[in-house]
C-alpha cells in the first residue's frame, strides 16, 4: 500500500449499510426505488412499530420505533412491508462476500455492518479508492447503498461512517479528533448509551471533549472499568484488532443435566428447561453476549439422542426468551418417550456491545413495555448496589430450602470459560 498514505498506521474501514432492510426490499422490487418505504411488524394493525425506513420516508419525519399509525399520519403515501429475514440474511452474506474480495480481514458485527483492515492491501488502489470502489460495487451489483468510515482504528472508523449518510465516505484522522469529535454531544459517541450519558451529566460531562479530559477517579467511580475505556476512546485510542474469527469463535454457551430418573412428566421437563435456561442466561450476561440460535438436546437412552435448534430473528440473552425457544423445540420434537437428559445451548453468539438488535413488532413492544421496570431496577441498583432487587416472589414454604441446585455439566465446550 502507498506508504505516504498509511505512514505506518493501520487503515480500518467501517462499512455500514444504509436503511438496510428497506434497501433490500427496494433491490427486490425496483418499483419501490425512490419512494417512502418502511418495514414494520403487524402491518394491518394500528399498533405496528416501524423497524426501519427509507430516507425518502425520513424526509416526512418517519423514524425507527415510531408507531405505524403515526408514521402514516406523517406520510400518507408510506409503503409498508413486513420483515423478510431470510431475504435480509442472503443480502448480508452477499455484502460480506464482496468485502472479502479486498481482504480476508473482515469482521462482521451485525447483519448490516462490519469492519475491514486494509492496511496490508497489496493492490494499486489507495484506501479512499478502495472505499469508493466498494461503495460503487455494492450499489451496482447488489443495489444496496452504504456509508464507509476510514480511520486508524475501529472506534474512529465507526464514528466516521455515521457522519455522512446515505452513500457517504468519511476519513477521520487522529489529529482531527479535537476539532471534529470533541465538540459533539457525548450521547452521540459510539459506546455511550442514553443511561451512560445521563450518568456522565452528573459529573458535568456533556461533550466528547469533556469526557476525553475527564477525571480518572470520577469516571471509574461512576462507570467502573468502562469509564477508563470510554475516556481512551474519546481520545482516539482503540487497539482492538479487526478479527475475522470473532464470530466463529463465539460458538456456544450450554448446560445439560441428567434427570434423577427417566421421565415423561412434561411439567418436570419444563422445570428442568427453566433451570437450564436460567443458567445459560446468567453465563451469557457475564460474558456480555447475545444468541441468534437456541439448541435443545433430548436424550432418551444411552444411545438415543436428538438435537434440534431454532434460528431467531433477533438476538436474545434473557432467561424467559431462552426458555420459550427451548420449550418450542421440546413440544415440536419430543416424541413422548421417557427423557433421561436435557440440554439447552445458546449458539451463534455475538458480543452485546457490537450487536445491533433487529427490531420487529413483537420484540420492540415487549422491550417498550418493560423499559419503565428496567429503569426503576437500574436506578435502585445504581443507588443501593447490584443485586438489591430480585425478580419473582419466593414461596414462604420454600424460602429456607436453599438456593437452586448448581448445574455445572456442559454438553458442549464453552470456549469463553
User: Is this prediction's pTM over 0.75?
Assistant: no
What per-residue confidence (pLDDT) applies to 410? 32
Portions of the chain given CATH number 3.30.70.270? 1-175
What is the mean predicted confidence (pLDDT) over 103-115?
92
Question: How large a percentage of the chain has pLDDT more than 90?
Answer: 60
CA–CA gap between residue 290 and residue 356 (Å, rounded): 10
CA distance 212 to 214: 6
Instruction: Note whether 345 and 253 are within 8 A (CB).
Output: yes
Measured in whole angstroms, how far is the alpha carbon of residue 313 from the centre of its chain?
12
DSSP state of 187: G
The CATH code for residues 250-369 is: 3.30.1490.100
Burial class (CB in 10 A: 0-12, 13-18, 19+), 171: middle
Query: Quick one: which of 321, 323, 326 has its CA closest to 362?
Result: 321
pLDDT at 44: 62
| Residue 2, pLDDT score | 40
Instruction: Give yes or no for residue 287 having a pLDDT over 90.
Output: no
pLDDT band of residue 254 (cuts 50, 70, 90) is: confident
Please give the average per-residue pLDDT across 88-107, as a whole number: 93
Residues 79/85/87/88 CA torsion (nearest 10 deg): 90
Average pLDDT over residues 15-42: 93
How many whole angstroms separate alpha carbon 175 and alpha carbon 169? Answer: 18
Distance of CA 224 to the CA centre of its chain: 22
Find the helix or strand (DSSP H, E) in which 343 lies: strand 339-351
C-alpha distances in Å from residue 282, one per residue of 131, 322, 326, 343, 344 = 41, 11, 16, 15, 13
Tell me what percent of the residues of the chain surpass a pLDDT of 70: 79
Tell whether the model's pLDDT for residue 6 goes beyond 60: no
pLDDT band at 16 (very low <50, low <70, confident <90, very high): very high
Separation CA 65–CA 378 (nearest Å): 22
Query: Quick one: average pLDDT of 114-127?
Result: 93
Read off the pLDDT of residues 322-335 as tens digits, 9 standing for 90 and up. Answer: 999 999 999 999 99
Q: For residues 53 and 36, what is the distance between their CA atoms, to the nearest angstrom?
A: 7
pLDDT of 405 higher than 70? no
Q: What value does the mean pLDDT of the chain take?
A: 83
Cell for 184?
459533539
Residue 16 annotated as part of some ligand binding site: yes
Residue 108's closest CA among 244, 287, 290?
244
**Which residue ranges does the chain devote to CATH 1.10.150.20?**
182-234
14's grid cell: 467501517
Known active-site residue 264: no
Identify the CATH assignment for 182-234 out of 1.10.357.20, 3.40.50.2300, 1.10.150.20, 1.10.1040.10: 1.10.150.20
Phi, psi of 384 (to 5 degrees): -110, -5
**Between 81 and 286, residue with greater pLDDT:** 81
Distance of alpha carbon 349 from the chain centroid: 10
Higher pLDDT, 174 or 378: 174
- On whether 112 is known to bind a ligand per the annotation, the reply is yes
Q: Following DSSP, what letter does each residue of 8-67 receive, concatenated?
A: T---EEEEEETTHHHHHHHHH-GGGTTS-EEEESSTTSTT-BEEEE-HHHHTTT--TT-B
Over residues 196-236, the pLDDT tens digits come to 999 999 999 999 999 999 999 999 999 988 899 999 999 99
Rg of the chain on CA atoms, in Å? 24
Least confident of 175-179, 268-272, 276-280, 372-376: 372-376
Identified catalytic residue from 113, 274, 317, 348: 113
Contact by Cβ (8 Å): 47, 66: no
Domain 1-175 CATH class label: alpha beta
DSSP string, 260-321: EEEE--HHHHHHHHHHHHHHHHHHHHHHTEEEEEEEEEEEEETTEEEEEEEEEEEEE--HHH
Strands 289-301 and 252-263: unpaired
245-279: b (≥16 Cβ within 10 Å) or e: ebbeebbbbbbbbebeeeeeeeeebeebbbbbbbb
Amino acid at each position: 500500500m502507498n506508504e505516504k498514505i498509511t505512514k505506518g498506521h493501520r487503515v480500518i474501514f467501517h462499512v455500514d449499510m444504509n436503511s438496510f432492510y428497506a434497501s433490500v426490499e427496494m433491490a427486490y422490487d425496483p418499483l419501490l426505488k425512490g419512494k417512502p418505504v418502511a418495514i414494520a411488524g403487524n402491518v394491518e394493525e394500528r399498533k405496528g412499530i416501524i423497524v426501519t425506513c427509507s430516507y425518502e420516508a425520513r424526509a416526512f419525519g418517519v423514524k425507527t420505533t415510531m408507531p405505524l399509525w403515526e408514521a402514516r399520519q406523517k406520510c400518507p403515501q408510506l409503503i409498508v412491508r413486513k420483515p423478510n429475514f431470510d431475504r435480509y440474511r442472503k443480502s448480508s452474506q452477499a455484502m460480506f462476500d464482496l468485502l472479502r474480495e479486498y481482504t480476508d480481514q473482515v469482521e462482521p458485527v451485525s447483519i448490516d455492518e462490519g469492519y475491514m483492515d486494509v492496511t496490508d492491501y497489496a493492490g494499486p488502489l489507495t484506501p479512499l479508492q478502495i472505499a469508493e470502489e466498494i461503495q460503487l460495487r455494492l450499489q451496482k451489483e447488489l443495489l444496496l447503498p452504504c456509508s464507509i468510515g476510514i480511520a486508524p482504528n475501529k472506534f474512529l472508523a465507526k464514528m466516521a461512517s455515521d457522519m455522512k449518510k446515505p452513500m457517504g465516505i468519511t476519513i477521520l484522522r487522529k489529529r482531527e479528533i479535537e476539532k471534529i469529535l470533541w465538540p459533539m454531544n457525548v450521547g452521540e459517541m459510539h459506546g455511550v448509551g442514553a443511561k451512560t450519558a445521563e450518568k456522565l451529566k452528573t459529573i458535568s460531562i456533556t461533550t466528547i471533549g469533556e469526557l476525553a479530559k475527564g477525571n480518572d477517579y470520577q469516571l471509574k467511580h461512576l462507570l467502573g472499568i468502562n469509564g477508563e475505556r470510554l475516556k481512551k476512546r474519546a481520545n482516539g485510542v482503540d487497539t482492538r484488532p479487526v478479527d475475522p474469527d470473532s464470530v466463529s469463535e463465539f460458538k456456544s454457551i450450554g448446560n445439560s443435566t441428567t434427570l434423577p430418573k427417566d421421565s415423561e412428566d412434561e411439567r418436570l421437563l419444563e422445570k428442568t428447561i427453566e433451570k437450564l435456561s436460567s443458567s445459560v442466561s446468567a453465563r451469557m450476561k457475564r460474558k456480555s453476549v447475545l444468541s441468534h440460535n437456541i439448541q435443545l438436546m433430548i436424550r432418551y437412552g444411552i444411545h438415543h439422542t436428538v438435537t434440534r435448534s431454532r434460528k431467531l430473528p433477533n438476538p436474545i440473552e434473557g432467561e424467559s426468551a431462552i426458555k420459550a425457544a427451548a420449550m418450542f423445540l421440546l413440544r415440536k420434537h419430543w416424541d413422548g418417550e421417557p427423557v433421561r437428559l436435557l440440554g439447552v445451548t445458546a449458539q451463534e453468539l455475538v458480543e452485546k456491545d457490537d450487536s445491533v438488535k433487529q427490531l420487529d413488532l413483537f420484540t420492540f413492544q415487549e422491550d417498550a413495555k418493560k423499559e419503565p421496570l428496567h429503569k426503576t431496577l437500574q436506578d435502585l441498583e445504581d443507588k443501593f448496589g447490584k443485586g438489591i432487587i430480585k425478580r419473582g416472589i419466593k414461596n414462604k414454604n420454600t424460602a429456607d430450602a436453599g438456593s437452586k441446585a448448581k448445574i455445572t455439566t456442559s454438553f458442549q465446550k464453552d470456549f469463553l470459560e
